[in-house]
Structure 1
């Protein structure tokens, strides 16, 4: 679509903002239709596409008002995803950090989702190792497994200390 076509299309739709902002809006909505993204990811996407930071910020504000971008909703969905797959709080926190969701929103969601983290670690351990590790070698494997899954070291030591 040429610039002239974009202007005509915007005029037909009754948009009153500048062309760049409407183009950014359209591109962001198409991009967000594929999957949910954070505010940080959306802003990076728009600035990487050549839109001015002010335009990206304005469009992001509109997207948030319309409910297309919601960091709390994304944090809850991603934390639930990692919880269902048997990963710990640290793994979910790393995922949220990589997506640019941090602070009170992320902490609140992680606290709620991983309140039963010890039980989750025990169930993951039981499934993976068919019960309690029987010797030091199995214990070391279980230790590494749980750490790699994103469970805190202190929790892993407590669980395996009780098991051995």
Structure 2
């Protein structure tokens, strides 16, 4: 084989992810960086910052990384605004995360405030209250029935706070759901 033709040779990999020698070659090539990005994007959507971080960890130089990521951005394979929208929708709907937690997650993923703001704005206060109420109802089904009201409120509000709901929303939702569940007996003095 001629020098440099290794990168064009078909892979004999059996589908198991293994460390390949070309990843550690003095910064790699743009094509190798693109291949690495495609493998990462095949698993799930990722932000530009996440991809840059993963490529740097694989040993690609900043110049090679930028060129590969610029090309993927140009063709639409990397779009931080679309990633933010998808992330917010998915994590709010399926994981029950509130806006505060979602904003923090997006910051950790390297999404700029200008890309994150429209995605977070898609969640209205009503959406957040509705999702929080669902979480409280689900949690109430698994809580011990002999738990006193104050302890129940603390646990439920704490659960919502850990998921990124504002304290005022958490208290409002918890009290409304407890009243609806006939858990509104006065606390012992």
| TM-score w.r.t. length of structure 2 | 0.69
**Greater Rg by CA:** 2
Rounded to whole Å, the distance in 1 between the matches of 2:36 and 2:83 is: 20
Equivalent residue, structure 2, for 1:16:
none
1:96 aligned onto 2:106: yes
Rounded to whole Å, the distance in 2 between the matches of 1:76 and 1:3 is: 44
8 Å contact kept, 2:153–2:175: no
Report the alpha carbon displacement of residue 161 of structure 1 after superposing the two structures with TM.
Answer: 5.3
1:129 aligned onto 2:140: yes
Unaligned runs of 5+ in 1: 11-18
Aligned alpha-carbon RMSD (Å):
2.7
Higher helix share: 1
Runs of 4 or more consecutive aligned structure 1 residues displaced over 6 Å after TM superposition: none
1:146 aligned onto 2:167: no
1:36 aligned onto 2:50: no
After superposition, the C-alpha distances for 1:100-125 in whole angstroms (9 at most, x for unaligned) are: 11311111101103442122212322
8 Å contact kept, 1:82–1:92: yes
Aligned residue-pair number: 153
1:27 aligned onto 2:36: yes
Rounded to whole Å, the distance in 2 between the matches of 1:144 and 1:2 is: 63
Greater shift after overlay, 78-87 or 61-70?
78-87
Greater shift after overlay, 112-121 or 71-80?
112-121
1:119 aligned onto 2:130: yes
Report the alpha carbon displacement of residue 6 of structure 1 after superposing the two structures with TM.
Answer: 4.3
